[in-house]
Amino acid sequence: MKRDPDEILSFCSLRIGYAEGRKKNALLSPLTASARRGEMIALIGKNGIGKSTLLRTLAGLQLSLGGDITYSGKSIREYSRTDLARTIGYISTEIVKVTNMRVYDLVAMGRFPYTNWFGKIDKSDHEKITDSIEKTGMSSLSWRFISELSDGERQKAMIARILAQDTGILVMDEPTAFLDIGSKFEILHLMHLLSQKNGKTIIFSTHDLNVALSQADKIWLIADDNILDGAPEDLMLQGAFDHLFDSTSVAYNSENGTYSFISENRGEVRVSGEGIMLHYTKKALNRAGFSISEGEVHPFLRLPSGSCRYWQFMNGDSVMEFGSLYEFIKWINAEMPLST
């Protein structure tokens, strides 16, 4: 079979895990998957299943127990340490804490595989470093000490370092793990830009399914001892996510790609209304354990509309009014306690 010229990384029957003396403890059955230039790939799987081990193996930090990894068609065995460092960059969840290290110094470490024995930064290295800092929007912070950065800024500095390393592939182990929502989307946006504009192949692990489904071009899903490889939508159509969590209390909704708790069903409520008001009222009712019904016999909840700014709950002859959903849920919880 002719090789796809844009295929930048592939692995075949790859066995990952740890060798203890002669004994090999493989974590998963042999894995096969590939990545193309400019793709953003999300690696998903349960905790402890071997995501980090796979990423470390791909980055050449850990030997595989079998099988082969190829970068642009050339086996990892033919790469020297330096060549590999020029091909694939790595960011883990480990936080770099070095006293007196400035953002510029950290990014300059990316030039390690290019500099001479003494690590001399010449003019072209300097250009690369300032460029990388600029691409990540860190120019104004380039002279800050990394110990003074916020989590999001530190992650950007780490990405700048990997850019200075000038690799086609970026491997990131949970790049958004510690970040608040704002920084998380900034980092994701940056990753997206790098894959789109600069043609970087980004492989990242995440626990955030929403992020994976919306951002990734491709998903590597580790489940049941194996790796499933495809566009997020393909995997959804195959029902691959249905059994990601072997749990009876979490339900997967394949329509919008979200997980939710399965709470005890406490009854049915008829709701009238439309738009965002309906959406969030339904959400609140679901959370409280009520399902939405169309039947005439069930209690009826009328949403605020027009001049009426109250939720009106009609059960038989009684009518109750509530100023907020919070009050309604509070009342209904007291009225119909959960059977224990």
Partner 1 sequence: MKAEHQKIADSFKSSGKRLRIVFISLLILLVIFMVTDVFLGSVSFSAADIFNVFFHKTESPLNTIIFNFRIPKALTALTVGIALSLSGLQMQTLFRNPMAGPDVLGISSGASLGVAFVILGFSGNISVDSLRGLGNWILIAASWIGAGTVMILIMSISSRVREIMTILIIGIMLSSGISAIVTIMQYFSAESMLKAYVIWTMGSLGNLTSDQLNVLLICISGGIVLSLVSAKMLNAISLGENYAASIGLNVKLSRAVIFASTSILAGSVTAFCGPIGFIGIAVPHISRILLRTSDHRILIPGTIITGGIIMLISDIISQLPGSESVLPVNSVTSLIGIPVVIWVIFRNRKYSGVF
Size of the site for partner 1 (CB under 8 A): 40
Pick the stretch among 65-73, 110-118, 267-275, 294-302 that binds partner 1 (CB under 8 A).
110-118
Least distance (Å) between residue 157 CB and partner 1: 12
Instruction: Tell me if 233 sits within 8 A of 201, measured CB to CB.
Output: no
Q: List the interface residues with partner 1, window 27-66 (CB under 8 A).
A: 56, 59-61
- Per CB under 8 A, the list member of 25, 99, 256, 340 interacting with partner 1 is 99
The span from the CA of 201 to the CA of 85, in Å, is 15
Tell me if 282 contacts partner 1 by CB under 8 A: no
Instruction: Tell me if 313 sits within 8 A of 328, measured CB to CB.
Output: yes
> Burial of 54 by CB count in 10 Å (0-12 exposed, 13-18 middle, 19+ buried)?
buried
Q: Which tokens sit at 124?
A: 């072209």
The span from the CA of 337 to the CA of 340, in Å, is 9
Q: How many CB atoms lie within 10 A of CB 93?
A: 12
Q: Which tokens sit at 46?
A: 């349960």
Tell me if 177 contacts partner 1 by CB under 8 A: no
The span from the CA of 234 to the CA of 237, in Å, is 5
Pick the stretch among 133-141, 189-197, 213-221, 319-327 that binds partner 1 (CB under 8 A).
133-141
Least distance (Å) between residue 105 CB and partner 1: 6
Tell me if 196 contacts partner 1 by CB under 8 A: no
Instruction: Tell me if 187 sits within 8 A of 107, measured CB to CB.
Output: no
Least distance (Å) between residue 311 CB and partner 1: 49
The span from the CA of 150 to the CA of 87, in Å, is 29
Q: List the interface residues with partner 1, window 227-266 (CB under 8 A).
A: none
Tell me if 20 contacts partner 1 by CB under 8 A: no
User: What does the binding site for partner 1 look like in residue numbers (CB under 8 A)?
Assistant: 56, 59-61, 81-82, 84-86, 88-90, 92, 94, 96-102, 104-106, 109-110, 112-113, 115, 117-119, 130, 133-134, 139-140, 142-143, 165
